[in-house]
Structure 1
Amino acid sequence: MDDFSIDLASTALVLIDLQNGNMARALAPYSAQGVLGNCVSLAQEMRTRGGMVVFVRVLMNELQSPPADAPLRAPGAPAAPPDASHFAPAAGVEATDVVIVKRQWGAFYGTELDQLLRRRHIKTLILGGIVTNLGVESTARAAYDRGYALVFAEDAMSGLTAEAHHAACKNTFRAMGRVRTTAELIDALQAGTGEA
């Protein structure tokens, strides 16, 4: 594996949809709780070193749902409970973290995320969250199109199926950026300098 390092001053951690409505999902290959634990570890490491941490949540009852062959939510399904769009308490969102609210899978469209990142001179995004091939991948594609360097925390995300997760991590994400484990990312953050 190539030398890997992270320039903390130009890097942000972006965590997707770590909210109550997703914590109850059956995910693979990692459980929602396992993903949450790794995301929390990454966020703590970034904060300790003065890095930017962004938490993104989707308003589940306002999520767009155009006609689809296999919609995630069946037409006429009851509304999500009021707290489904709230961050899971264990996510540990802090007052210094940036919070982005969205109404679609990706975190860029219709939000202030790009503007906030550019004002902080962020060039690299570390991505994690739920679900790998939906919210994380949609956000990654938009970030890639905007010229951000991407790093994917492979075990700090999970899919609705293991196959979907692995397909994104082994194919799409490797073509867009670098795929690393939480432990590798924490080692790189602790090492301190260089380019992501």
Structure 2
Amino acid sequence: MALSTLDERTALVLIDLQNGIVGAPVAPHSGADVVARSVELAEAFRAQGAPVVLVRVTHAADGSDAAPGRTEQARGAGAPPAGWDVIVDDLAGHDGDLRVTKRNWGAFYGTDLDLQLRRRGVTQIVLAGIATSIGVESTARAAHEHGYHVTLATDAMTDLNEDAHQNSIERIFPRLGETGTTAQILDLLAKTRA
């Protein structure tokens, strides 16, 4: 599906572009490529006066604030390295950006993201980040359930598993919103804000 429009009040939401995640082995795009495309999007949104939201995930070193419940896959053992949950330098340092800290996969549950977006009259979000099938998809699902129009920058996201990335791009995201490349989104942003 082609991108149709960006609402007058659209926000860019970048998921987990932080030191301990962008360097992980990911596919099909490298963490560096995702950051570079996210920087392009953020600069364009800031230039238009549109909100940019930087979401990071963190947890207590002892795991005491981790989501409860049994899983078949073991959780990470030991304390993460210092600074793992700090937004990458290429995106940090812009005073006007909103910052959201989450302790779950998605950026809505247990945070003030919805409140911050609604206070600014936001009706649509553009999503990018790492990992496609985890943080990005969880946030896209919740955004859709909260009534936001959702646009997904498919070349500004990547995953720990390329098959999982493709499943989200091809099967899940078209049911939640519209998908497009960074270049297509930037072109649409320029046209709708002209």
Residue of structure 1 equivalent to 2:134: 134
Where do residues 29-68 of structure 1 align in structure 2 (5 Å cutoff)?
29-61=28-60, 62-64=65-67, 66-68=69-71
Please give the secondary structure, in 2, of the residue aligned with 1:94: coil
Structure 2 gaps, min length 5: none
Q: Is 2:26 the partner of 1:23?
A: no
Deviations 1:18-76 (A, max 9, x none): 001102210010010000111110000000111110000011444436321124x34xx
Q: What amino acid maps onto 2:179 in structure 1?
A: V
Structure 1 residue runs of 5 or longer lacking an equivalent are none
- Give the match's secondary structure for 2:83: helix
Q: Which amino acid aligns with 1:23?
A: V
| Counterpart-to-counterpart distance in 2, 1:3 and 1:158 | 20
Cα shift readout 1:138-184 (whole Å, capped 9, x = no counterpart): 11111111111100000111011111101001110001100100000
Give the number of equivalent residue pairs: 190
The one-letter code matched in structure 2 to 1:69 is E
C-alpha displacement at 1:85, in angstroms? 0.7
Structure 1 segments, 4+ long, off by >3 Å, are: 60-63
The root-mean-square deviation of aligned C-alpha atoms, in Å, is 1.7
Structure 1 residue 118 corresponds to structure 2 residue 121: no
Whole-angstrom distance in 2 between the partners of 1:65 and 1:158: 26
The partner residue of 2:72 within 51, 69, 72 is 69
Give the TM-score taking structure 1 as reference length. 0.91
1:16/1:56 contact within 8 Å kept: yes
Preserved CA contact (<8 Å) 1:60 1:80: no
Is the CA contact 1:59–1:103 (under 8 Å) kept in the aligned structure 2? yes
Q: Distance in 2 between matches of 1:3 and 1:140?
A: 16
Q: Give the deviation of 1:88 after TM superposition.
A: 1.2
User: How far has the Cα of 1:110 moved from its partner?
Assistant: 1.1
In structure 1, distance between residues paired with 2:67 and 2:87: 20
Higher-helix-fraction structure: 1
| Closer, same or farther: CA 133–53 of 1 in aligned 2, 3 Å | same
| Aligned residue runs from structure 1 range 44-193, under 5 A | 44-61=43-60, 62-64=65-67, 66-71=69-74, 73-74=75-76, 77-193=77-193
Q: In structure 2, the residue corresponding to 1:83 is in which secondary structure?
A: coil
* In 1: Cα distance, 2:52 partner to 2:68 partner: 29
State the alpha-carbon separation in 2 of the partners of residues 63 and 53 from structure 1: 27
